[in-house]
Amino acid sequence: MPSTNGSGRPPVGGSEAAYRACVHIAVFAALFSLVVCGLLVANWLQGRARFPVDPPAMVALKAQLAKRPADEALKARIRRLDREIREEYFGRKAFAEGGSLLLLAGVVVFVAALKGAKRLRRRLPKPGDPPEDPRRIAARARVVVATLGVVALAGLFSLGAGAGRDPAREYARAVGLEERAGRPRRRAASARELARNWPQFRGPGGSGLAAPSARPPEHWDGTKGTNIRWKVPVPLPGENSPVVWNDRVFLSGADEKQREVYCFAAADGKLLWRQPVGTGGAGATPPNVSSDTGYAAPTLATDGERVFALFATGHLACFTLDGKLGWLRNLGVPDNMYGHASSPVLHENRLIIQYDQGLSAEDGKSALLALDTATGQTIWETKRPVPNSWSTPLVVSSGGTAEIITCANPWVIAYDPKTGAEKWRVECLSGDVAPTPIAAGGLVLACNIGAPLTAIRPGGQGDVTQSAIAWSATDGIPDVTSPASNGELVWLVTTDGLVTCYDLKSGAKVWEHSLERMFWASPTVVGDRLYLLDNEGMMHILATGRTFRQLGTAPLGESVNASPAFVGDRVYIRGKENLYCIGR
């Protein structure tokens, strides 16, 4: 019978010899593991000092070599050192790998021996003193828990101490997002959410640049159904382009009698709701529009809460994303010779509308309006010295201030979105201006056929025609489509299919290539691709490189005038009759 140990409980089972063996093995394994562990730590400590990327010794030697390029002895030293460092680095890696396996083995043996020893000295249970009164345990626990709770709350409090020096307060004020009565002014869609969606004409920034997360397919075929997720007919015609918010796609359609706004499910194309707009009152007598423009040319805009639709009759409607009418106005039937086409755009809680009218600037009918998105009331209205135009305004932000850029004959004019006051203007356009300006690389680019492509440095004051033009270029200027840029190059595509690529910094022409198709849809830059959609529905996919390279084409099988929307791995295209969702 084994000896009784100090606690007075007899161990059971196992021979003394086996027990001793186990203990010895455990001690040996523990020592072994400790030694290996020590070696590994030493290996790591030494290896850390000699990481092969730019070791100081090597940098110093290379600097010497730059001064004495013909010093052969120095070169030999560099080569020797290089070899040493590399051998050491990979040697240490191998050592660490082998060492950790040994360590693991040591620990396993240690644990196993310990378990064995414990089993051999298993003690039978012997109840000691009667269990403590639960009430006393609870009383003591209450004290400790209460103390811990006080400590935790004090920790939370100390987090908030010293928040006064927080730079966030300052920049939040600079972007107009300061806290008011402890609450954000409005539960606005976050910048990230805006960037992820396609909330207005020409995408999140309004410049025809898709979000970096967009990864549309490189190929589809509408005639065969390849990569076409769904296709649904759109009840009424319209030239406006799809806008997308999370799981919804919005369009409008109109003819001379009726106007409608549509919401489709992005998942399967189901028509979730359709709402008529303004069946009476002003605009009941439709204006004359060209058949190319139609009654529903302006693209919708959404802030993630509401969607806004403008029609050639001057009707402007606001719906919630669920299709409830928020407000409805008529801005007055626009005097526009082809039909109003400029799309509303959003800035913070303002809906910006470029409402240019009249055959001549002297008519004094043109204006820029900012409406409250919640109520539809005019926040400000600024008269514009221009005739009717078809270009969509662009909001650019730089250095904490925002500007609304507008294009019409002959002025590019920038306004303050807060007050509507004019900030600067450049005379560089002519004709019936349709292309929308873009912002890229800190420049604003405006163009229209009959005038050059002009790169303007924003942020000036007054008439800056003489000072703010970075460069201008005259080849391949479009009359319908807008430019696109990836921040390094700019692309133009004319109605007859001439694609011209300029360097954004210098304005130098990089290449040009004729696709020999008709284009009304504006180009879009998606990652390292340029997507060009021609009027027959063929998508031309080009590389955004400094040489022309066509990566492929993808037919839709239906003619198209609207610009596509790129969201996630999907592309939404509005054909003449149908709305398509393209995706793998």
Partner 1 sequence: MRRSLGPALALLALPAAALGEERFPPPEFSTGYQMPAPTTPPPRAGTLAVLDVVLLAVALSLAAYLVLKRRSRNGVFALMLFSLAYFGFYRNGCVCPIGAIQNVVVAATDRSYALPAVVAAFFALPLLFALFFGRVFCAAVCPMGAVQDVVLARPARIPPWLEHALGLLPYLYLGAAVLFAATGSAFVICNYDPFVSFFRMSGTVKLLSLGAAFLLLSMFVGRPYCRFVCPYGVLLRWVAPWARWPVTITPDTCTQCRLCEESCPFGAIRVPTPEPDPALRHEGRGRLAVLLLLLPVLVAAGGWLGAHGSGRLARAHARVQLADRVWIEEQGKVRGTTDASEAFRKHGHPTEELYREAAELRFRFRDAGRLFGAWVGLVFGLKLILLSIRRRRDNYEADRAACLACARCYRSCPQEHARLGLVIDETEVPDAVDQR
Partner 2 sequence: MADNSERMSRREFLAGKVRLAGALAVCGGVALLRPRGAIAGTVWQIDPNKCTQCGKCATECVLGPSAVKCVHVHAMCGHCELCFGFFEAQPNALTTAAENQRCPTGAIKRRFIEDPYFEYVIDEPLCIGCGKCVEGCGTFGNGSLQLQVRHDRCENCNQCAIADACPSDAFVRVPATRPYLLKSAEGEQ
Looking at residues 155 to 184 of the shown chain, list those that interact with partner 1 (rule: CB under 8 A): 156-160, 163, 166-168, 170-172, 174-175, 177, 179, 184
Give me the residues that bind partner 2 (CB under 8 A), please.
Answer: 51-54, 61-62, 65-66, 69, 75, 78-79, 82-83, 85-86, 89-90, 93, 96-97, 212-213, 215, 218, 527-528, 543, 549, 551
Residue 523 beta carbon to partner 1: minimum distance, rounded to whole angstroms: 18
Q: Of 80-88, 114-122, 222-230, 313-321, which part binds partner 1 (CB under 8 A)?
A: 114-122
Compute the C-alpha angle 111/115/121, nearest 5°. 145
Residue 399 beta carbon to partner 1: minimum distance, rounded to whole angstroms: 7
What six digits make up the tokens of 493?
A: 């595509």
Residue 48 beta carbon to partner 1: minimum distance, rounded to whole angstroms: 9
The residue count for binding partner 1 (CB under 8 A) is: 82
Report the Cα 218 to chain-centroid distance in Å: 20
Site map (CB under 8 A) of partner 1, residues 208-247, x = contact: -----x--------------------------------x-
Strand segments, DSSP code E, in 515-563 are: 524-526, 529-533, 539-543, 550-554
Residue 124 beta carbon to partner 1: minimum distance, rounded to whole angstroms: 5
260 Rama class: left (phi>0) / alpha (psi -120 to 50) / beta: beta
Residue 544 beta carbon to partner 1: minimum distance, rounded to whole angstroms: 8
DSSP string, 188-239: PPPHHHHHHSB-STTSTTSSSB--TT----S--BTTTTBTEEEEEE-SS---
What six digits make up the tokens of 254?
A: 């109109």
Residue 383: CA atoms inside 13 Å, Cβ hemisphere, count?
A: 7
Does 124 interact with partner 1 (rule: CB under 8 A)? yes
| Omega prior to 417 cis, within 30 of 0 | no
Residue 140, contacted partner among partner 2, partner 1, none, CB below 5-8 A by kind: partner 1
In whole angstroms, give the CA distance from residue 451 to residue 430. Answer: 6
Does 24 interact with partner 1 (rule: CB under 8 A)? no
Site map (CB under 8 A) of partner 1, residues 37-56, x = contact: -------x------------
Does 98 interact with partner 1 (rule: CB under 8 A)? no
Name the nearest CA neighbour of 306 among 323, 325, 319.
319
Residue 479 contacts residue 435 (beta carbons within 8 Å): yes
Burial of 207 (0-12, 13-18, 19+ CB in 10 A): buried
Does 31 interact with partner 1 (rule: CB under 8 A)? no
Helix (H, G, I), strand (E, B) or coil at 293: coil
Residue 53, contacted partner among partner 2, partner 1, none, CB below 5-8 A by kind: partner 2
Does 27 interact with partner 1 (rule: CB under 8 A)? no
Does 265 interact with partner 1 (rule: CB under 8 A)? no
Indicate which single residue of 62, 68, 83, 118 sits in contact with partner 1 (rule: CB under 8 A): 118
Q: Of 185-193, 373-381, 460-468, 469-477, which part binds partner 1 (CB under 8 A)?
A: 185-193
Residue 409 beta carbon to partner 2: minimum distance, rounded to whole angstroms: 38
Q: Of 70-78, 280-288, 361-369, 393-401, which part binds partner 1 (CB under 8 A)?
A: 393-401
Indicate which single residue of 131, 180, 291, 322 sits in contact with partner 1 (rule: CB under 8 A): 131
Task: Fill in the DSSP letter of residue 88.
Answer: H
Using the minimum distance from each CB to partner 2, give the nearer residue, 495 or 550.
550
Residue 83, contacted partner among partner 1, partner 2, none, CB below 5-8 A by kind: partner 2
> How are beta strands 462-463 and 422-427 bridged, if at all?
parallel
DSSP H or E stretch at residue 134: helix 134-160
DSSP string, 20-34: HHHHHHHHHHHHHHH
Does 94 interact with partner 1 (rule: CB under 8 A)? no
Residue 552 beta carbon to partner 1: minimum distance, rounded to whole angstroms: 18
Strands ordered across the beta sheet of 443-448: 438-440, 443-448, 451-456, 469-473
Using the minimum distance from each CB to partner 1, give the nearer residue, 291 or 547.
547
Q: Of 52-60, 63-71, 113-121, 366-374, which part binds partner 1 (CB under 8 A)?
A: 113-121
Using the minimum distance from each CB to partner 2, give the nearer residue, 184 or 545.
545
- Residue identified by tokens 């082809």 is 338
Compute the C-alpha angle 397/400/401, nearest 5°. 55
